[in-house]
Structure 1
Amino acid sequence: MRKREYLDTTQDISFKFFQTPDDFMVDEVMCTEFKGKGNYLIIHVKKVELTTWDMVAIFAEYFGIPAQKIGYAGLKDKHATTTQYISVDASYEKMLKKFHHKQIKILKTIRHSHSIRMGDLCGNRFSINLHFVDNIDSGKIEKCARKIAKNGLPNYFGYQRFGRDNDSIKQAEEMIKGEIFIEDTKIKNFLISIYQSTFFNDWLRERVELSREKNDGKFLLLDGDVYQDNKGDLSTPKIMPTREFESKKLVPTGLLCGRDTFRARDEAREIEKKYDDEFLQEKGYRREALIYPKDIECKYIRKETKLKISFTLPKGSYATVFLESIANKNYTAKDVKPKIKQK
């Protein structure tokens, strides 16, 4: 897998961040306004050092129900403090009052007419502590973050998507070629997503490099690009929609290869086809090439040489990619693992 490149590479900014419960906080932003009545109970939970699946398994065991009976909208990091919403049948409301777990806190409950489904969230609000930041770099970080929010962030899949090393990518390629057989459906779907994501990231890298070369670091639109509007609808306009792009009404998309999805045309297709597997039988998708971080807030604590940066991203996007773009470097899981102090 090739290095993730970014649109603005004019300066390097020095900081460290760690994926720990104290330094990495994520709050789910839901699209739905819960009605306050209905046959389902919506539970707003805060969890620490647990994956979403871990948390769901804990509730499933407590209620004595299959994990599939618990609804959730998105998957959250383990090494973080995160809040998210889950749903269960309202008949478990009384039982929930006695629930206790040292890594899970129930913040609020409310009734609703239907269960939460995967993808129901609008985005996530991140609050991340950046360490070893001096006063000058603090200002640079905020300035850079706001510039990215204006011009757009390349919507790469972050390092978390691909596992701890590149073995998963190799395994995915071998499975697609038929060289190995994977029986477990969950693992198979995971490997397919890695296969599609690798192609997408490599396509996006080429488009970013082209934009830096020919468009002064602003994302370069090409004839035949496929665009997504604010409702999620896709189109391939005959005339390049520059004005709609600049007003953020339309955003260009990249291909997650597979069947039953739009392909680009003309000039855009010449690049896209290098990162397409037209024989892949799984469902294909389009993914926004750019996203726009919102509601950026920065608070600098001079005594601790720490900057707390908060921002909101659309669902499916990676906070670590935003930080990579600011730092002008790629991160791995090893980079964000805190060093254990020697006794």
Structure 2
Amino acid sequence: MDWPPSWPRVLDAEFGPPVSGDYRARPEDFMVEEVLDFAPEGEGEHLWLYIEKRDLTTAMVVKELARLCEVSPRVVGYSGMKDRVAVTRQWLSVQLPGREAPEGLAESLAERGVQVLEMARHPRKLKRGVHRANRFRLRLTGPAVDDEGFAARWERLLERGVANYFGPQRFGPDGRNLLRARSLLARGWRKRDDRDGMLLSAARSFLFNELLAERIREGSWDRLLPGEVANLDGTASQFTVEAPDAGLEARAARLDLHPSGVLWGTGGSVANGEALAREAHLASRFPALCGGLEAAGVRLGRRPLRLSLGEASLERGDDELWLAFTLPRGAFATAVLRELIAHPSL
């Protein structure tokens, strides 16, 4: 398998390929803040901790928190997995019924690169995927900083939105997660071989990216097709568009709603017409992956093909650029960066 795939950028047709640039040279160049729409209630058997971690994965912090609290990692909750080479802020929870936090917990975590910014009690465990968004602040360096066309590319992303590709980290170094997923699905998926579902996720993400890439090539990635399942910007609300009219097209043009693509699995698609035909074509190209996901019992889902950048800004410094923007949960900052700079990891 050739890796990485030649998934097209949106802006290349108008501006040509981006100039090379660098990002994440150090953790402080890639800052992420998780955004929740609620706060701990102040009482309950779960201790919630708002932390800032540096150069650590979320899984590493979960393991260390469980060790310090003398509990199983299974009772530690988190909403999203955050990058390692970064400075990130997020909530974690740990179940401590009838127990206080271990003495010196914050100090012990600080010795391992984890700052506890806030602690509070809550009745329930923090569940996966409950945060609304992630707020990013990224430092860029290299030739792209001095490129006269950079600002124009950035402004066009604000106007047209960003192709909602899954990032390369989903597929592992050199796409190895996808290779493992293909092998596992071919012989029959078993949970003991993929306990956290990482390989299933890699397969679904690859199929989605392939569908999005085809829509970009044909120029329909940001417009509604007959039978399209439209996604309301920033929400989980979806509805099927039998025939796009001027009103819906205007809403799509101002980024109020977006076309969506299938996350492959079992269950009938709510798309029809031209949009459903694109999904059928995807299945004909990758029958083993699609069939393997169905056999594994993964439920069909949907994901917007496009996303808008919230709270966006561009700051220029000495030989550097700082980008700030907010993305809905599940979106990748690398999808934004690959439209703006050329880098081997993108």
| TM-score for both structures, normalised by structure 1 | 0.85
Cα offsets for 1:56-107 (capped at 9, x unmatched): 0000000000111111110011111111111123633363355343311111
CA distance in 1, matches of 2:102, 2:68: 13
CA distance in 2, matches of 1:88, 1:135: 43
Shift of 1:158: 0.9
Shift of 1:200: 0.7
Partner residue in 1 for 2:241:
237
Would the aligned equivalents of 1:153 and 1:322 in 2 still touch at CA under 8 Å? Answer: yes
For residue 227 of structure 1, give the secondary structure of its aligned residue in structure 2.
Answer: strand
Match of 1:151 among 160, 165, 170: 160
For residue 132 of structure 2, give the secondary structure of its aligned residue in structure 1.
Answer: strand
For residue 125 of structure 1, give the secondary structure of its aligned residue in structure 2.
Answer: strand
Would the aligned equivalents of 2:21 and 2:141 in 1 still touch at CA under 8 Å? Answer: yes
For residue 267 of structure 2, give the secondary structure of its aligned residue in structure 1.
Answer: coil
> Are positions 1:119 and 2:129 aligned together?
yes
Would the aligned equivalents of 1:262 and 1:286 in 2 still touch at CA under 8 Å? Answer: no
Please provide the CA RMSD for this pair: 2.5
Letter of the 1:85 counterpart: W
Would the aligned equivalents of 1:4 and 1:156 in 2 still touch at CA under 8 Å? Answer: no
Partner residue in 2 for 1:252:
259
Instruction: Classify 1:203/1:144 alpha carbon distance in 2 versus 1 (closer, same or farther; 3 Å).
Output: same
What pairs up with 1:67-82 in 2 under 5 angstroms?
A: 67-82=73-88
What pairs up with 1:278-293 in 2 under 5 angstroms?
A: 280=294, 281-293=297-309
Shift of 1:154: 0.7
Would the aligned equivalents of 1:245 and 1:251 in 2 still touch at CA under 8 Å? Answer: yes
Shift of 1:143: 3.6
CA distance in 2, matches of 1:219, 1:310: 23
For residue 310 of structure 1, give the secondary structure of its aligned residue in structure 2.
Answer: strand
Cα offsets for 1:179-207 (capped at 9, x unmatched): 787732326x2211111111111110010
Would the aligned equivalents of 1:174 and 1:180 in 2 still touch at CA under 8 Å? Answer: no
Cα offsets for 1:207-227 (capped at 9, x unmatched): 01111xxx7xx7232111112
Partner residue in 1 for 2:334:
320
Would the aligned equivalents of 1:257 and 1:278 in 2 still touch at CA under 8 Å? Answer: no
> Are positions 1:86 and 2:89 aligned together?
no
Instruction: Classify 1:316/1:67 alpha carbon distance in 2 versus 1 (closer, same or farther; 3 Å).
Output: same
For residue 165 of structure 1, give the secondary structure of its aligned residue in structure 2.
Answer: helix
For residue 334 of structure 2, give the secondary structure of its aligned residue in structure 1.
Answer: helix
Partner residue in 2 for 1:228:
231
For residue 244 of structure 1, give the secondary structure of its aligned residue in structure 2.
Answer: helix
Match of 1:18 among 24, 28, 39: 24
Partner residue in 2 for 1:131:
141
CA distance in 2, matches of 1:127, 1:63: 32
CA distance in 2, matches of 1:197, 1:72: 22
> Are positions 1:201 and 2:209 aligned together?
yes
Letter of the 1:105 counterpart: Q
Letter of the 1:310 counterpart: A
> Are positions 1:109 and 2:158 aligned together?
no
Partner residue in 1 for 2:272:
265
Partner residue in 2 for 1:168:
177
Equivalent residues, number: 323
- In structure 2, list runs of 5 or more residues that go unmatched: 284-289
Would the aligned equivalents of 2:260 and 2:302 in 1 still touch at CA under 8 Å? Answer: yes
Letter of the 2:229 counterpart: V
- In structure 1, list runs of 5 or more residues that go unmatched: 336-343
For residue 147 of structure 1, give the secondary structure of its aligned residue in structure 2.
Answer: helix
Partner residue in 1 for 2:287:
none
Identity over aligned residues, as a percent?
25
CA distance in 2, matches of 1:73, 1:308: 26
Cα offsets for 1:250-292 (capped at 9, x unmatched): 2211111101353421112222212232661322210111011
> Are positions 1:5 and 2:8 aligned together?
yes
Instruction: Classify 1:182/1:85 alpha carbon distance in 2 versus 1 (closer, same or farther; 3 Å).
Output: closer
Letter of the 2:94 counterpart: V
CA distance in 1, matches of 2:78, 2:190: 30
Would the aligned equivalents of 1:155 and 1:288 in 2 still touch at CA under 8 Å? Answer: yes
Instruction: Classify 1:321/1:40 alpha carbon distance in 2 versus 1 (closer, same or farther; 3 Å).
Output: same
CA distance in 2, matches of 1:243, 1:28: 31
Cα offsets for 1:148-180 (capped at 9, x unmatched): 122111100111110101333233222222278
Instruction: Classify 1:108/1:180 alpha carbon distance in 2 versus 1 (closer, same or farther; 3 Å).
Output: closer
